[in-house]
Structure 1
Amino acid sequence: MSDASMPTAAERGTPTAEPLVFLHVGDLHLTKPDTRNAADFRAILDQIAMIAPQHLLDFVYLPGDLAENGWACEYAILADALARHPHLPVRLIPGDHDRQQGAMADFQAFHAGLVASRGLPAPTVWTLDQPPVGSPEETWPPAEIPHYCACENFQGVRCLFVDIVSPGYGRKGIGLDFRLGPDQTQWLSAALTQAAEDGVPVAVFMHAYPDDLREPDDRLDVAGLFRATGVRLVEMGHTHYNELAHDGRTLYAAARSVGQNEDGSVGYAVAAIDGPVTSWRFKALDRPWPFVLITSPADRRVAARPATPETSGMVADARGRIAVRAVVLSDAPPRYVHARVGTGPWVRMAHAGGRTYAAWLAWPRDARSIQVEAVHEDWSGHGPDFVDTDVIEPVVAFDEPGFVPAIPGKPGSDVPNVGRSLQKGVRGDQLGPNRAGRKW
């Protein structure tokens, strides 16, 4: 399809802005520079740095548990790996392993170096009661604690980075202690309320599900706040396996660990928010370029409720066609990108001039799936290498006016997970130290 045959943005009913696109590299658990996970992390960064052009992505997200023990020598491995790619945009927060020793001085020093060298947001200092180094039965004195919380806008999406580790009291031998301090809770509530008033979509980045917070009241308060303010995506680490859980309004997404991985090939997740649609898919390190992610319409398993043609990206024109958009990541522009409905004819997608490829496809009444395929310039003409495909099942039944999705029995948890979705890289077996895996 030529550019001239593409519909206008108004005809498509889709936004003219570029989608938010970020890459999520899971928990690293770095220990020594010659270990497998350290080598894998360097290889992942090398592969990400090959993406051409680099403006196809907004940032690389590291969700905490960067170091296995929270030691300076472990952060030195991470600093050296990042130094090889000084222009790669990175955002990160701490995990529970980053305070394994009951303190975060080494993490704080490492992060301060990134603030100076890469322009990361500086932490906010809030006063909290903290346990002393000695007996936990002693009085907990107040202390000035840096919190790695930040609010930034990328492609019209408000991104909130939420630190649930610094306000906690956890250390090795005591167990997990994810918390939100009172000042941090007020900051989060105010930021989400303002975003809702501004009418902008929100993505939250934290280490674990709200259900993993230590205080039961916090679990319900935070999950309810996310739901009430319409948070689109909560991106997390901690599980060590790929997982998607959708409560009807908010998609919770976790990516497998690089450092303690039982879930399959290491790699990284690619996520996008394109107007009303949120998309997610895992890219294995051992798969060659290209990589394709359909950013609109929405897959029915993670589509926002109430489901309407507008919220699902299924607005049709007078000829019954819908707009299909996709992001292609590769080390070179693809030879071609095409799309089809079901097993119907392929239609060439046009490069929309920014991050997306787009096509206008007829949508028959009995249609059930959309497939987008990208072909690398090195493809030999046969075989699966250098060809990548994403497949979604769009929403085909819409909610009645006034429909409100039911609140899940355990909000902010993995209970409403979508289960096995191999196309997205989700195995559904929850192999990791926090559920069904071995104890690392």
Structure 2
Amino acid sequence: MSGGPGAPPLLVAQFSDLHLRAPGLTANRIVETNMLAARAFAAFAALAPAPDALAITGDLADRGEAEAYRLLAGLIERHVRVPVILIPGNHDDRAAMRAILGDRLAADDEAGINRPAEHLPVRLLPLDSTIGGESHGRLGDGQLRFLRDRLAADPRPAAILLHHPPIATGIAHMDAIGLENAAALEAAIAPHAARVAGLWCGHVHRMIHGRLAGAPVVIAPSVAHQVQFDLKPDGPSALVLEPPAFVMHRWDGASFTSQMVFVDSYPGPFPFLS
């Protein structure tokens, strides 16, 4: 992992929006999310070079079922040998997450349910943007204070993880349930923008790039199903069975490049011919 020029790059894989169900159940009555998650974790385990960490940016479960979190715990145990950063999404249940995955979550009140990974060359600072019973997101005073304090205390670069994107995407029905106090997040990071290497989000089920306070924002696709690409102001809320994918973030000692990686295998590779 890269701590500076000449060192190996730091690789962080980002999964999002698994929407796991209790065994035998599907999401939205049609999506075999448990099977798709198993494929994603198998693909993660086969990556070479291996990532240095795995971040999962919310909606781990579709209905907050304890059985879904047990399934996730088993997938992590079988396939992952590096630090895992978990954050909740609006479909998650914090109490069930803590009951099943508590050994991977923070224990102190200030950090909430999220455990930072601060031993890497780029610190990974997770935030909980969920509001119980609501689809939209908001960062509470404690989360914003936690972020300001962590950014001020350490000059090393940091990536900020949260479920709800702080930018508009143009997909109207998703923007309506985005992060409602994005301006507060922008104000929190602005004094430290030079050390914010990225903001990594989920929720929208599409690969989308933007900026906040000069920092790059990456919204990850889902390792299950995607949201319909539709930029009409009255576009309906709908999913599509486009290929499952995740993001690989590569830190070269100065900045991240972020690439979408499809979970499934496709024909090839074939050599380019002159």
Normalising by the smaller structure, the TM-score range is: 0.7 to 0.9
Give RMSD over aligned pairs: 2.5
Deviations 1:56-109 (A, max 9, x none): x1111111111111111221222232232252432111111003xxxx321111
Structure 1 counterpart of 2:108, from 124, 145, 150? 124
| TM-score under structure 1 length normalisation | 0.50
1:283 Cα deviation after fit: 0.9
**How many Å separate the matches in 1 of 2:128 and 2:213?**
25
Q: Structure 1 residues 220 and 105, CA, compared in 2 at 3 Å: closer, same or farther?
A: same
Query: Match of 2:184, as an amino acid?
Result: D
Query: Match of 1:17, as an amino acid?
Result: A
Structure 1 counterpart of 2:161, from 187, 199, 205? 205
| TM-score under structure 2 length normalisation | 0.77
1:16-27 alignment runs, 5 A limit: 16-27=6-17
Q: Is the 8 A contact 2:86 2:114 kept in 1?
A: no
1:11-410 alignment runs, 5 A limit: 15-34=5-24, 35=26, 36-52=32-48, 54=50, 57-85=51-79, 87-99=81-93, 104-112=94-102, 115=103, 120-126=104-110, 147-165=112-130, 168=131, 170-171=132-133, 175-195=134-154, 198=155, 200-210=156-166, 212-214=178-180, 218-230=181-193, 231-247=196-212, 249-261=214-226, 262=240, 264-287=242-265, 385-386=268-269
Q: Is the 8 A contact 1:29 1:260 kept in 2?
A: no
Query: Match of 1:42, as an amino acid?
Result: A
1:53 Cα deviation after fit: 5.1
Query: Match of 1:122, as an amino acid?
Result: A
**How many Å separate the matches in 2 of 1:51 and 1:178?**
33
**How many Å separate the matches in 1 of 2:57 and 2:48?**
24
**How many Å separate the matches in 1 of 2:98 and 2:271?**
40
Q: Is the 8 A contact 1:28 1:258 kept in 2?
A: yes
Query: Match of 1:89, as an amino acid?
Result: P
Query: Match of 1:213, as an amino acid?
Result: L
Residue of structure 2 equivalent to 1:331: none
**How many Å separate the matches in 2 of 1:388 and 1:64?**
38
1:125 Cα deviation after fit: 1.8
1:177 Cα deviation after fit: 4.6
Query: Match of 2:108, as an amino acid?
Result: T
Query: Match of 1:272, as an amino acid?
Result: R
1:121 Cα deviation after fit: 4.7
Report SS of the residue matched to 1:184. Answer: helix
Q: Is the 8 A contact 2:247 2:260 kept in 1?
A: yes
Q: Structure 1 residues 388 and 164, CA, compared in 2 at 3 Å: closer, same or farther?
A: farther
Deviations 1:224-273 (A, max 9, x none): 32233121200111011111113572110011123342373112111122
Query: Match of 1:192, as an amino acid?
Result: L
1:111 Cα deviation after fit: 1.8
Report SS of the residue matched to 2:209. Answer: strand
Q: Is the 8 A contact 2:222 2:246 kept in 1?
A: no
Query: Match of 1:273, as an amino acid?
Result: W
Higher normalized helix content (fraction of residues):
2
1:412-431 alignment runs, 5 A limit: none
Same amino acid, percent of matched pairs: 26
Q: Is the 8 A contact 2:144 2:188 kept in 1?
A: no
Query: Match of 1:43, as an amino acid?
Result: R
Report SS of the residue matched to 2:76. Answer: helix
Higher normalized strand content (fraction of residues):
1
Residue of structure 1 equivalent to 2:171: none
**How many Å separate the matches in 1 of 2:271 and 2:212?**
29
Report SS of the residue matched to 2:218. Answer: strand
Query: Match of 2:97, as an amino acid?
Result: F
1:194 Cα deviation after fit: 2.3
Q: Structure 1: state its 5+ residue gaps.
A: 1-13, 127-145, 289-383, 390-440
**How many Å separate the matches in 2 of 1:387 and 1:228?**
48
